[in-house]
Amino acid sequence: MAKPMKICCIGAGYVGGPTMAVIAEKCPHVAVQVVDVDAEKIEAWNSDTLPIFEPGLADIVRRSRGRNLFFSTDRATAIGSADIIFVAVGTPTKTNGIGAGRAADLVYIEKCARDIARLARGPKIVVEKSTIPVRTSDALKEILNNNGDGQFQVLSNPEFLAEGTAIRDLHRADRVLIGGDQTPEGLRAIDTLAAIYENWIPRERIIKTNLWSAELSKLTANAFLAQRISSINAISALCESTGADVDEVARAIGADSRIGPEFLKASAGFGGSCFRKDILNLVYLCEHFGLKEPADYWNKVVEIIDYQKRRFSAKIVRALFNTVSGKKIAILGFAFKKDTNDTRDSPAISVCRDLMKENARLSIFDPQASGESILGALGRGSKSVSSGIAIERDAYAACHGAHAVAILTEWDLFKELDFQRIFHGMEKPARIFDGRNILDRKALEQIGFKTYGIGKP
């Protein structure tokens, strides 16, 4: 009997955790080990309070953990015994040196490659799951083949899940992309990985390409998605100047099947750990290859997000008689989107920072983001920054005594709040700035609120 396949995933974050949980769920015959250098995170994965909030994830983990899904800090054993090694560590934007502010920092990827080369015995398939610049696989191969026993096949299998819908996205992926060397060994490795996904993904949705096409497709997919949001956000500014309604415009253009309805929601800017970093990475790649105009084109997508966030904070200050100094402003929602506890690059960070510069007092409520992560994102380190911020346990406490409410995450529960009660507890005139266009503004105005949306008349 063939020995059961073993998978190891290096990196137990927002990608490694859910992706491996779903592989373990759908492939009970495969043993999946997820390893991380962060012992606290591993402890949380082994507890009832997982380190990330993702609808449906806890149930899947509970069912597979200890059966064929394991979380551990023991990288040596997991790497040594695995047939397939996924690398799902962070690839943040470089903060210093060449390409600072744009290029991807591959320090964690390189560390993984060196660990794999040192610890692996026998043939291994090494899978790039992290999002990386095109041709990173060359560097990986060089490190692996110069330091290990030379029996490695490197594949690129970028992840397309979105936070908040990760489990649904993994269960019903539009496509799975696998790139590899177009040699007999490379093609065999592609088929081995494809066979894992074929346990639940229809074969026709598995796209097989060369390594570089797979690497570049991931950055390109994020750039195209982000570009749609920046485009509609740019139009939202024009809507505000002309009296058009951006949601009506989005609906009208999205009905054209060539355009489609998704990713046309205007907001007070988009966030998350990837869009900005991946587009900046694409800009850097274009510049590196001397392609100035493409670099400028993609850079504009990022500039529009920053413009949109600045516009929203300025709208709040302007409406409050040009001063928010000493005024209490309730911030409802701090995660970068609903159904996640992730606050990385959340638009709420920029808006809060702008308001803090104007000496506003902020009372912040988010149903999932921890107080620690919110204060961390706002630079709690300095005393002058941490004073004037209160983290509240519910929306009513956050809004009590406030001059204005700003909605910064589209959590469903905000639509169900008792706004009559909120209105009575607020300073008058009470204002609501709906940075996600989720509330019924007519109903709020009947209560007595003054309301402001994005791209709304």
Catalogue the active-site residues.
274
Q: Output the smallest distance, CB 122 to ligand NAD, in A.
A: 21
List the strands of the sheet with 404-407, edge to edge.
389-391, 361-365, 328-332, 404-407, 431-434, 450-452
- Which residue among 7, 8, 15, 223 contacts ligand NAD (CB under 6 A)? 15
162 binds ligand UGA (CB under 6 A): yes
Q: CA 329, CA 364: separation in Å to the nearest integer?
A: 8
Contact (CB, 8 A) for 85 and 10: yes
- Angle between helix axes 16-26 and 57-64 (nearest 10 degrees) is 50
For 344: left if phi > 0, alpha if psi spans -120 to 50, otherwise beta; the answer is: beta
Pairing mode of beta strands 328-332, 206-210: unpaired
> Contact, 284 vs 214, CB < 8 A?
no
If one asks whether residue 247 binds ligand NAD (CB under 6 A), the answer comes out as no
- Cis peptide before 429, with omega less than 30 degrees from 0? yes
When CB distances to ligand UGA are compared, the closest residue is: 274
Total residues at interface with ligand NAD (CB under 6 A):
26
Q: Is 281 in the site for ligand UGA (CB under 6 A)?
A: no
The count of residues interacting with ligand UGA (CB under 6 A) is 20
Among 26, 41, 124, 327, binds ligand NAD (CB under 6 A): 41
Which among ligand UGA, ligand NAD, none contacts residue 37 (Cβ within 5 to 8 A by kind)? ligand NAD
Number of H helices, E strands in the chain: 18, 14
The Cα-based distances of 207 to 251, 284, 391 in angstroms read 31, 27, 46
Q: Listing from the earlier edge strand, what are the strands of the sheet with 176-180? A: 69-72, 31-35, 6-10, 84-87, 124-128, 152-156, 176-180, 206-210
- Specify the stretch interacting with ligand NAD by CB under 6 A; choose among 55-63, 159-167, 376-384, 415-423: 159-167
* Residue 19 binds ligand NAD (CB under 6 A): no
In the complex, the smallest distance separating the C-beta of residue 340 from ligand NAD, rounded to whole angstroms, is 8
Residue from 229, 302, 304, 349 binding ligand UGA (CB under 6 A): 229
In eight-state DSSP terms, residue 205 is: G
Residue 134 near ligand UGA by CB under 6 A = no
Kindly tell me which residue out of 111, 141, 441, 450 binds ligand NAD, with binding defined by CB under 6 A: 111
305-314 core/surface letters (b: 16 or more CB in 10 A; e: else)? bebbbebbbe
Closest CA to 356 of 385, 332, 376: 385
Identified binder of ligand UGA from the candidate list 84, 87, 106, 161, rule CB under 6 A: 161
The residue among 68 and 373 lying less far from ligand UGA, judged by its C-beta, is 373
Is residue 182 helix, strand or coil? coil
CB of 305 to ligand UGA, least distance (A): 9
Query: What is the contact mask toward ligand NAD in residues 329 to 358, using x (rule: CB under 6 A)?
Result: ------------------------------
Among ligand NAD, ligand UGA, none, residue 12 binds (CB under 5-8 Å by kind)? ligand NAD
36 versus 240: smaller Cβ distance to ligand NAD: 36
Q: Does 131 bind ligand UGA (CB under 6 A)?
A: yes
Is the CB of residue 359 less than 8 Å from the CB of residue 327? no
Give bridge partners of residue 127 from the DSSP assignment: 86, 155
The residue among 341 and 437 lying less far from ligand NAD, judged by its C-beta, is: 341
Binder among 50, 89, 223, 329 for ligand NAD (CB under 6 A): 89
Continuous H helices in 243-382: 246-254, 275-288, 292-319, 347-357, 371-377
Does residue 114 touch ligand NAD according to CB under 6 A? no
Question: Under rule CB under 6 A, which residues in 300-319 are in contact with ligand UGA?
Answer: none
- Using CB under 6 A as the binding rule, whether residue 38 contacts ligand NAD is answered as yes
End-to-end CA distance of the chain: 69
- CB under 5 to 8 A by kind: which of ligand UGA, ligand NAD, none does 89 bind? ligand NAD
Does 16 bind ligand UGA (CB under 6 A)? Our answer is no
Q: Find residue 406's DSSP bridge partners.
A: 331, 433
Which is nearer to ligand UGA, 164 or 180 (by Cβ)?
164
Options 36-44, 231-239, 330-338, 441-449: segment touching ligand NAD (CB under 6 A)? 36-44
Q: What phi and psi, each to the nearest 5 degrees, are found at residue 233?
A: -65, -40
Residue 237 contacts ligand UGA per CB under 6 A? no
- Judged by CB under 6 A, does residue 110 bind ligand NAD? no
Residue 449's identity, in one-letter code, is F
Report the residue closest to ligand NAD, judged by CB. Answer: 13
Q: Which residues, in sequence order, are CB contacts of 12 under 8 Å at separation 6+?
A: 34, 35, 36, 38, 41, 42, 45, 51, 71
Where does this chain bind ligand NAD (CB under 6 A)? 10-16, 35-38, 41, 88-91, 108, 111-112, 130-131, 159, 161, 163, 273-274
Where does this chain bind ligand UGA (CB under 6 A)? 131, 159-163, 222, 225, 229, 263-265, 267, 270-272, 274-275, 336-337
